[in-house]
Amino acid sequence: MSRRPYQLHEILEKRVLTDSTFVLRFERKELEFKAGQHISVGPPNGIHTREYSVYSAVNDNAIEILVKEVMGGLVSPALNHLKEGDMVVVQDPVGYFSLPVNHTPTSKYLFIASGTGISPFHCFVKTIPNLNYQLVHGVKYVGEAYEKHHYDKKRLTVCTSREGKGDFYGRVTTYLQTQNIDKETHCYVCGNCDMIHDVYDILEEKGVPSAQIHAEVYF
């Protein structure tokens, strides 16, 4: 099936999380997606779009994306200037960063994210009640642990590399090296490519089969 052309969606809400990061919530217009997929979004009068993982739950009545403004970027600064009532262009979701088809309530998941790479995991957690997960989120400062109250405190570890106010002072990779990881765990990694490569090596060293390691680069 061919993808539909870009359509305009009205912004319903803009939640400012930090000086440079925000959540855009816009009308759904019957758009269907799987948890973990991403959509192309851009300003209404521009010629550029950018891919963003869907942040909201599959059964939500609107769509949300988590955006970090990149200075000099072609899309994020324009999106940051938009407000409630403005429009964004959106194209159908794509991607295969999703949970296994044979997912069961006893399946174990380890979600590893850096920065806004937490988006697909937020979607997973909000979509599937009682998901058996542990989430490790790497940020510079604890204030960048975006909407951490949305997660079970016992299942979230915030790793801060620039201050000691998180759950672990240091990088995600350093934290993982201290952990015992069940070889039956399905591991999902989303963030910058250097982090993904390092985490992949650590997981393999701990005996996690490569078939159970899923990664998506998030810029």
Q: Do 31 and 121 belong together in one domain?
A: no
Task: Name the domain boundary from 90, 119, 136.
Answer: 90
Q: Do 123 and 199 belong together in one domain?
A: yes
Domain with 80, as residue range(s), is: 7-90
Residue 85 dihedral angles phi and psi, to the nearest 5°: 100, -20
Write down the pLDDT at residue 1.
Answer: 45
152/72 Cα distance (integer angstroms): 36
Local confidence band at 4 (pLDDT 50, 70, 90 cut-offs): low
Local confidence band at 104 (pLDDT 50, 70, 90 cut-offs): confident
Q: Do 135 and 35 belong together in one domain?
A: no
Provide the number of structural domains found in the chain: 2
CATH number at residue 80: 2.40.30.10
- Side chain identity at residue 187, one-letter code: C
Q: Do 86 and 186 belong together in one domain?
A: no
CATH number at residue 193: 3.40.50.80
pTM (predicted TM-score): 0.94
- How many C-beta atoms surround the C-beta of residue 173 within 10 A? 19
- Side chain identity at residue 134, one-letter code: Q
Cα–Cα separations (whole angstroms), residue 66 to 20, 97, 212: 11, 17, 26
Tell me whether residue 125 is in a domain.
Answer: yes
- Side chain identity at residue 195, one-letter code: M
Write down the pLDDT at residue 5.
Answer: 67
Write down the pLDDT at residue 57.
Answer: 98
Task: Name the domain boundary from 90, 122, 148.
Answer: 90
Tell me whether residue 210 is in a domain.
Answer: yes
Cross-sheet strand order for the sheet of 156-160: 168-169, 156-160, 133-139, 109-114, 186-191, 213-217
Q: Please give the average per-residue pLDDT across 134-162, as a whole number.
A: 97
Q: Inform me whether the pLDDT recorded for 217 exceeds 90.
A: no
Q: Which two tokens stand for residue 179?
A: 């952990």
DSSP structure class, residue 182: -
Q: What is the CA radius of gyration of the chain?
A: 17
